[in-house]
Structure 1
Amino acid sequence: MSRNAVLFAVMCLVWGLTWLPVKVGGTHVPPVFLAAVRFTIAGVLMLFWAGRDMPKVPAGAWPRLVGTALLLNTANYTLLFWGTAHAPTGLAAIVNFATIPIFTLLASRAIEKEPVDGRKLAAIGLGTIGLGFLFATRALGGLSAVQGDPQEAIGLAAVAAGTLFYCTGAVLSRPIAGTMPTLTLAGWQTLIGGIGLSAVSLAVERVGSADFAALAQWPVLPCVAFLVIGGSLMGFTIYMRLLRDWGAFRAGLYAFVSPAVAVGVGVAVLEEPFGLSEAIGAALMFGAATIALKRPAPRGG
């Protein structure tokens, strides 16, 4: 097995496992506060790692950098961390990962006027049906809703909305992505997003001294450490290497593996329900993501 294949497996495992500390940490401290701590620390470490490249941001790129940071990290992770605190981790991971290619198609169409052909329409339609199955049990008040948090459906909707903000920010980031080092862009977006998350937390959550004290205690401390080191630094580094060596398509296949890890951990560790409706929805959404990610066949001529 090649080194990149091993790194890909590690990345999938790490990103699949991040949903557990998000869930556990979010039950001991306010979830947006947890996200703010994660991204502020990760952003500082990324910029420190960037070293001399840290200030290499063109003056004209700052407005778009700040705006995309607020979309990618502040808006997205406000909704994602809050949603995951109320919804099963496995389903939250499926909604997040499987909708990324679909929402990217929609954002590219709306912002860049990228044409939507039959293949893309099929992906959007299939993904919408899949989402319906994922929400069906909770929307109808079935067994999963009875046993779980009454806000599960709202939590999953929040994750979906956050993912849409993320994809919109990603598309808007494209014009500035080539104007500065990758780590510089990611570091500033992460730190600015963390600052934005801090502002949101202060506005909507009751954060007290006990929450700050909990950051240095079990189980919040290992949750934050794993999210920062594993989810942000390790996962991002591996993804950047695979993006360089494998290209966006192969590197992006983590979206089909990490949710399976999240579902397995959620069922085994947190005893989260996962029934037939959820399985059908997951299969449809992964099918939609496969269609969306599929590279078009080369034209003859």
Structure 2
Amino acid sequence: MALIWGLTWLPMKIASEAVPPIFLAMIRFLLAGLFFLAFILVKGLPLKAEQPWRVIVASLLITTGCYSLLFWGVARAPTGLSSIVNLSLMPIFLILVGAFYGQERITARRLGAIALGVLGLVMLFSGRTGTAQDGALVGLAAVAVATLSYAWGAVVSRPLMQAMPPITLAFWETSIGALGLVPVSLLVEGYDPAYFVGLTDERALIGLAILVLGGSLGGFSIYLWLVRDWGAFRAGLYSFVSPVVAVAVGVAFANEAFGWPEAIGMGVMLSATALALTEGRRAAAVA
């Protein structure tokens, strides 16, 4: 999951150069919903949505709220900085919202893991914030709000995973959220037939393939299973691993610098992941 989601940032940015970002997000999740539905029908899984109002709220938070802001923000801000904001805030928001709902405990070890992970992120991308301009800062603020929306939706979703197969829940959250993106795209970006023509652009086609098949069908399905079995906080620990992937992609395809700050930062982040996961293993052993 960390590998998949670490690879989606660049295609998202590139595809947004061919079509408006929120329109792109809408198409992504409409397509993903169709793929989820086909899988469910082939496997003969139940399609009924349990607790429909909770499903609707989670869908609007996870898909509509998060991805309208995320795609819009990434289109205006550097990809690396956007990933920093998203990945550093995700575990913080997950544990805080989870604690508010009584799903997570705020322990010293978890606070330490969060602090260590954020420190690693700062070290990993040290010296890169100077490239942010006014427009980019607005985009980064949108990414921050998107992260909160996603974390909130993930916590709301967890009780649903005990009553519904993760794939079924993924279908409903993806499809309902995609329908919610339709009016948002119309209000923010307007309607233009050229948007659909833009979907035939190579940048949009490749971006959608990676975002739909990898990010939605692969990464999101794995994430729902992890939230169900691990809880929102531990599932969110991909935030400390995905930047390693982002750095590797940057070095390989964008000639980004890689030195001691990046190497040390990755080591610190992996240590943070190990620290938090160790608590989970110890708790399981005691139970």
Q: 1:44 to 1:16 in 2, by over 3 A?
A: same
Instruction: Find out whether 1:102 has 2:92 as its counterpart.
Output: yes
Secondary structure at the residue paired with 1:92?
helix
Matched, 1:18 2:8: yes
> Using the alignment, how far apart are the partners of 2:179 and 2:212 within structure 1?
15
Equivalent-residue separation in structure 2 for 1:258 and 1:34 (angstroms): 23
Q: Which moved more, 1:45-54 or 1:166-175?
A: 45-54
The counterpart of 1:57, out of the listed 49, 52, 55, is 49
CA RMSD, aligned part only?
3.5
| Worse overlay, 74-83 or 267-276 | 267-276
Q: Deviations over 1:123-176 (max 9, x none)?
A: 44455666777898677xx3x23xxx5433333332232122111111111222
1:199 alignment partner in structure 2: 183
8 Å CA contact retained: 2:25, 2:67 = yes
CA displacement, residues 29-71 of structure 1 (integer Å, 9 cap, x when unaligned): 111111111011101210221114353223xx10000000000
Q: Which residue matches 2:72?
A: 82
Scaled by the length of structure 1, the TM-score of the pair is 0.76
Other-structure match for 2:143: 159
Aligned to 2:35: 45
Alpha-carbon spacing, 1:266–1:234, altered in 2? closer, same or farther (3 Å): same
Contact 1:88/1:266 (8 A) holds in 2: no
Q: What stretches of structure 2 of length at least 5 have no aligned partner? A: none
* Rounded Cα–Cα distance in structure 2 between residues aligned with 1:43 and 1:114: 30
Which ranges of structure 1 fall in alignment gaps of 5 or more residues?
Answer: 1-10
1:229 match = 213
Q: Per-residue deviation at 1:17? A: 1.7
What code does the residue aligned with 2:162 have?
Answer: G
Report 1:180-191 matches (<5 A).
180-191=164-175
- Residues 33, 172 of structure 2: 8 Å contact kept: yes
Contact 2:117 2:240 (C-alpha < 8 Å) held by counterparts: no
**Overall identity of the aligned pairs, in %:** 47
Q: Distance in 1 between matches of 2:184 and 2:256?
A: 29
Q: Distance in 1 between matches of 2:268 and 2:141?
A: 17
- Map 1:260-299 → 2, pairs under 5 A: 260-270=244-254, 290-296=274-280, 297-298=282-283
The residue that corresponds to 2:196 in the other structure is: 212
Structure 2 CA distance, aligned partners of 1:257 and 1:34? 26
Between 1:100-109 and 1:256-265, the stretch displaced more is: 256-265
